[in-house]
Amino acid sequence: MIIRNPFKVKRNQQQPRLLYHTLILLVVGCSFILFVTLVQPFYSINLWLADQLFVSEPPSPNIVVIGIDDDTLQTHGRWASWPRSLHAQAIGNLNKAGAKVIGFDILFAESTPEDEILATAIRGSGNLILSLVGTEPEPSTDMRLTYTQIITPTSLLRYASTSVGHGNILTDPDGKVRRLPMVIRDGSGQTYPAFSLAVLHSLFSTPLPQEMPGQSGMLHVLGREIPIDDSYCYRINFAPEDAGRPYVSYKDIISGDFDPRVVADKIVLIGMVATGELDKWAVPTSSGQIPGVYIQAAIVDNILRQQFVTGVGNGTTMLILLLIMVLTAIALPRFRLRWGGMIVGALFVGYLVISFVTFEWGYILNILYPLLMLPTMYTSSSLTQNVAMAVENTKLNRKVLEGYKGTIRALAAAIDAKDHYTRGHSQRVTEFALLGAKSLNMSPEEIEVLEYAGILHDVGKIGIPDRILSKPSRLTQEEFEIIKQHPSLGANIITGIPFLEEARRLALHHHEKFDGTGYPDGLKGDEIPLGARLLAVADAFDSMTTDRAYRAAMGIEDALNELKKHRGTQFCPVAVDAFISALQARSGKAPSG
C-alpha cells in the first residue's frame, strides 16, 4: 500500500496557487509602471516630495547681493529714468572697496547719452559681467534651449564688459523654479552661457569657451563637472538659506555709505529686489517669491562649493520600480497579510532612508512612484489572497452543502426504501416541485430551499410503523390519523439545523390544502408557503402516477386532469398551472386549457 506524505501533497497543491498569485502581481506591477511612465500622474506632488529633501544651511559669505530695493527707488526715482552715471558711480565705489567680481543681473538694452560714462567705468573695473535674456523660445533639433530673439546690452556696454551671460529662468508645471539652463542659443546657433557661469569664469580669470559641450550628463567647465539634463538645464540646490546671505542696498553702494569689508574680495551680484517688480520667483525652499538675483547667487554658491544635485532619469526610476515589483511579487504570495504588510512597511521606510542618503550623494530619486507602488502591490496581493480565500471557501461550502444534500438524500432514500412502492418518491417529488418553481421564476435561494424541502418532505415517516406504511389496503381512520403525524414528526427531526429552517416550514405544510381542510395546521390560501403548495402538487402527481399496493398508477393525462379538477380547492391554482405548464413544456406538448 502506498502512503502519501500529506505535507508534500499540500505543498504541491500550493505551488500553482503561488505561481498564479505571483503572475497576478507581476501583471499589476507592469501595468503600474506603464501607467506612470506614460501618464506621469501626480507630477506636482512628486516635485513637492523631492523639495522636502533640501535642508537649509548657512550661505557662503563670499557672495554678496546688492539689491535695488524700495529705498533705492524712493531715493533715485523710477528705474527707467535713472542716469547711467549712477551705475558708474556704484561701480567705482565697489572697485574702491575691493570687490572681486561684479555681476549686473539687470538689462542695459537701450542706449542713453551716458553710455560712454558707464562703459568707461565697466572697462575700468575689469571684472564686470552683464546680463542678457532670450525671448520667444522656438523648437529646435538641438536639445539646448533656443530663442528667436536675444536681448543683449548695448554694443558699447557689452564690449566694455568682461563677458555676458543669460539670466533666463525656467519654471516647472507647478510654477516653481528648480532648473536653470546652463547654455542657451539663438536661431543662428550662437550659444550663450548662464549668467552664473560668466561670473565664475571672471572670478577664476578664465575666458569663456566658444562652445560648452555636455557629455554623459555633465558640463565640463572651471575644472568641475556640473550635472545637466538633456536640455543643458542644471538642477538648483536651494539648500543655502538666502535670508542669511550678505546684503547691501544699492542706494548705499551709489552713495558710498557702506562698510567696504562687506564686499572686499567678494562676488557681488546686483539685481532688482523692490516690491512689485516682475523678477520674483517661487522656489521650493521659500514660502514666498524671491528675486532672481538670489537664484543666481544660489547657483554660483552651488558651483563654488560643488554642491551638485541631479534628478535621476526615467530609466533609473523604471529600474527601481521593476526591482520593487519583483521583490513584492515573489515575497507577498508566500506570506500572510500581516507579514506581507510588515515587509511592505519595511520597504517603504527603507526607500525613504535611501532617498535621503542618495540625496546626500547628490542624486534626487523619484520618491512618489516607488512609494505608491508598494501599497498598490500590497493591496493587489491582499485582494488576490482574499479572492482566493473566498473561492476556496465557496468551494468548501459547496462541498459541505453537497455533503449535506448527499446525507439527506440518503436519509430520504432510506425512508422510501421502507416501501418498495414509494422508492424514489422523494427525488421525483423534488424534481416536479422544482419544475413549477422555475416556471414561476423563483430566486436561486428559494429554489435551493425547495430542493431541501422536497428531499425531506416525508422524513417524518421514519416514525410511522411499517405496518401502516406498507399496508396493502386502504387505511382505517385511526391509521390515517397516525399517518397525518408525519409532517410534524419530520419538522421536529430537522428542527435546530439553521440552514434547513426554511425547508422545515415547507415540509411541515406540504399536506395543507388550499381551501383550509389540510393538515397539520389547516392553513388556507396564501397562508400556505408557496414552496409547500408546489410540494403538495408534486406529491399528489407522483402518488397518482405511481403504483400503490391498493391501486394501479394513473396515466399522466388522467393525473393532470385530477390536478385541474381540484384546482382551487385542494391545490393552489398558481402551483397547478405552473407545474402543468412546465411539465408540458418539458415533454414538448403545447399547454392545454
Q: At what angle do helices 530-544 and 556-565 cross, to 10 degrees?
A: 140
Nearest Cα residue to 95 out of 57, 126, 137: 126
What gap in Å lies between CA 61 and CA 297, rounded to an integer? 11
Which one-letter amino acid corresponds to residue 110? E
> Average pLDDT in the 15-25 region?
82
**H helix or E strand, kind and range, residue 163:** strand 163-166
pLDDT tens digits, 230-285: 888 999 988 766 678 899 999 999 999 999 999 999 999 999 999 988 889 998 88
Q: Give 409 or 41, the one with higher predicted confidence.
A: 41
Question: Measured in Å, how far apart are the chain's first and last C-alpha atoms?
Answer: 65
Report how far residue 273's alpha carbon sits from residue 297's, in angstroms, rounded to the nearest whole number: 13
The rounded mean pLDDT for the chain is 86
Closest CA to 534 of 448, 408, 432, 456: 432
159-185 pLDDT, tens digit each: 999 999 999 999 998 899 999 999 998
Cell 403548495, residue? 533
What pLDDT score does 592 carry? 45
Query: Is the per-residue pLDDT at 213 higher than 80?
Result: no
> What mean pLDDT do residues 525-547 have?
89
Q: How far apart are CA 532 and CA 450, in angstroms?
A: 8
Q: What is the pLDDT of residue 241?
A: 67
pLDDT tops 70 at residue 593? no
For the segment 386-402, what is each residue's pLDDT rounded down to a tens digit?
877 777 777 777 776 67
Among 141-145, 244-248, 582-586, top mean pLDDT goes to 244-248
Output the nine-digit C-alpha cell for 138: 522656438
What pLDDT score does 413 carry? 66
The predicted model gives 77-103 an average pLDDT of 94
CB-based contact 262:99 (threshold 8 Å): no
- Answer whether 0.85 is exceeded by the pTM: no
Judge whether 273 and 228 are in contact, CB under 8 Å: no
Q: Residue 127: is its pLDDT beyond 60?
A: yes
Mean pLDDT of 113-140: 92
> Would residue 549 be called left, alpha or beta, if left means φ above 0 and alpha means ψ between -120 and 50 degrees?
alpha
Q: pLDDT at position 590, please?
A: 46
pLDDT for 589 equals: 57
The backbone torsions φ and ψ at residue 587, rounded to the nearest 5 degrees and listed phi first, read -85, -5
* pLDDT higher at 385 or 353: 353
List every span in the chain annotated with CATH 1.10.3210.10.
417-587
Beta bridge partners of 151: 133
Closest of 506, 528, 507, 508 to residue 517, by C-alpha: 528
With cell 403545447, the residue in question is 590
C-alpha dist (Å) from residue 495 to 105, 400, 410, 449 = 94, 19, 18, 15
Pick the range with the lowest mean pLDDT from 15-29, 124-138, 318-332: 15-29
Query: Residue 104 has what pLDDT?
Result: 97
**DSSP character string of 110-138:** S--TTHHHHHHHHHHHS-EEEEEEEEEEE
The tens digit of pLDDT for each residue in 46-62 reads 888 888 888 777 888 99
**Alpha-carbon span 191 to 198, nearest angstrom:** 13
Report, as an integer, the average pLDDT of 194-198: 95
Q: Percent of the chain scored above 70 by pLDDT?
A: 90
Q: Is the dihedral of CA 496, 497, 501, 505 positive or negative?
A: negative
Over 50: is that where the pLDDT of 2 sits? Answer: no
Q: Which CATH architecture has domain 417-587?
A: Orthogonal Bundle (1.10)
| C-alpha of 336 from chain center | 22
At residue 495, the pLDDT reads 83
Average pLDDT over residues 87-105: 96
Has residue 8 got a pLDDT over 90?
A: no
- Detail the DSSP E strand segments found in 298-414: 310-311, 363-364
Determine the pLDDT at residue 422: 59
What average pLDDT does the segment 491-513 reach?
A: 86
Given this model, what pLDDT does residue 1 score?
Answer: 42
pLDDT band at 409 (very low <50, low <70, confident <90, very high): low
CA 465 to CA 31: how far, in whole Å? 70
DSSP string, 233-271: EEE----B-GGGS-EEEHHHHHHT-S-GGGTTTSEEEEE
DSSP state of 191: E
Cis omega (within 30 of 0) for bond into 240: no
Out of 89-93, 303-307, 310-314, least confident range: 310-314
**CA dist., res. 497 & res. 504, Å (int):** 9
Which pLDDT score, from 0 to 100, does residue 451 have? 87
Please determine, for residue 3, whether its predicted confidence score (pLDDT) is greater than 80: no
Cβ-in-10-Å burial (0-12, 13-18, 19+) of 168 comes to buried
Which residue from 317, 313, 311, 267 is spatially nearest to 293, judged by alpha carbons? 267
pLDDT value of position 417: 64
- What letter does residue 500 receive in the DSSP assignment? G
**For a pLDDT cut of 90, what percent of the chain falls above it?**
41
Of the candidates 195, 207, 123, the residue with the CA atom closest to the CA atom of residue 157: 123
